[in-house]
Amino acid sequence: MTTTSLPPIAERAAAPADVPLPDPSLGLTWRPITRDDVLALSALVTRTEVADGVPYRTVAEEIDEKLESEWRDIPRDTLLGLDADGVPRAWAEVDQPPGDTRVVRAFVGGGVDPDWRGRGVGRAIVAWSHARARQVLAASGKELPARIAAYVPDEAQDAARLLTRSGMTPVRYYAEMRRPLDAPLPDAPTPDGVRIVPWAPEHDEGARLAHNAAFADHWGSEPRNAAQWVHGRSMFAPTWSLVALDGDDQVVGYLLSGRYEADWEVTGHSAGYTDLLGVVREWRGRGLASALLATVMRVYREDGIEYAELSVDTANRSGAHRLYTALGYEVYASSAMYAIEL
């Protein structure tokens, strides 16, 4: 699909003038999420994650930082359903990243308390999310291919069924992989002409530019502007993060790690998580990605961490899945992106 053949985005999105709140007959009172809701919403999210059996936990800090997104209209992009006692029982959210230049995307998310499932609440918040997503896509004014998308772990079958009934289909699949650090670490020397150094604030903008360049040819990836790049770092582990510099001190590769300690209680082991890894095109095929991963494995292990973990798009044409397998990573969980293309 080319942009020249597309009808205007407002026409494709068919955005409603208003997005009504879900029907109060469902037994919930509806309003936007506020910062005061973070702890109660965190408890609700945990209940849904426990019920679905997912291998992670979303903590209050991660929820709070979502409400700080400077590009989002939080009062219009979030929804909270409270029971008669004021306890949150359902939530929904929409996010349209501002840096999109190839496909304008609206990500939808949310959940329903396990005790409130089967009452139509899930269908209601999905319908609300899609209507709001169409509004934000139309408001973007970007005459690009457009997508409404949601990530669903394979364990969350209730959510998968809801999204399928709403017209979304799985379009991409992702694998969570991990490697024990008590096994011998790979021998992956740093390529000549580049050096790997610890992440530091002065390298961060260079890492952002390297990320945008490295992922320019990856399906589903869009450039991140400066605000997007620094957002979502509540679990960022700077001492576990690396950059690769060429002879001119330009960032040509990077590995940014997260420390998700709440997940450790679920999985039964500690882990260093590689949130972002990339190498610019000019340095691909020289072993730099392997060197970054081997280096961070040593960093994790020196800190007493038991596993190295990461996520991969299973259809990634760069061969990332094969690379990780060769370095000893194995799949332990998976998820899918469900989407509607507009």
State percent of the chain over pLDDT 70. Answer: 98
pLDDT tens-place string over residues 282-309: 999 999 999 999 999 999 999 999 999 9
pLDDT of residue 187: 93
Q: Say which range, 2-11, 186-195, 309-318, has the weakest mean pLDDT.
A: 2-11
pLDDT tens-place string over residues 99-109: 999 999 999 99
1 pLDDT exceeds 50? no
Residue pair 92/125 in contact (Cβ under 8 Å)? The answer is yes
pLDDT of residue 315: 74
271 pLDDT exceeds 60? yes
Mean of the pLDDT values across residues 134-144? 95
pLDDT tens-place string over residues 151-197: 999 999 999 999 999 999 999 999 999 999 999 999 999 999 999 99
pLDDT tens-place string over residues 10-43: 899 899 999 999 999 999 999 999 999 999 999 9
Residue 109: CB partners within 8 Å, gap ≥ 6? 92, 93, 95, 129, 150, 151
Distances (CA, A) of 107 to 139, 146, 271: 15, 11, 27
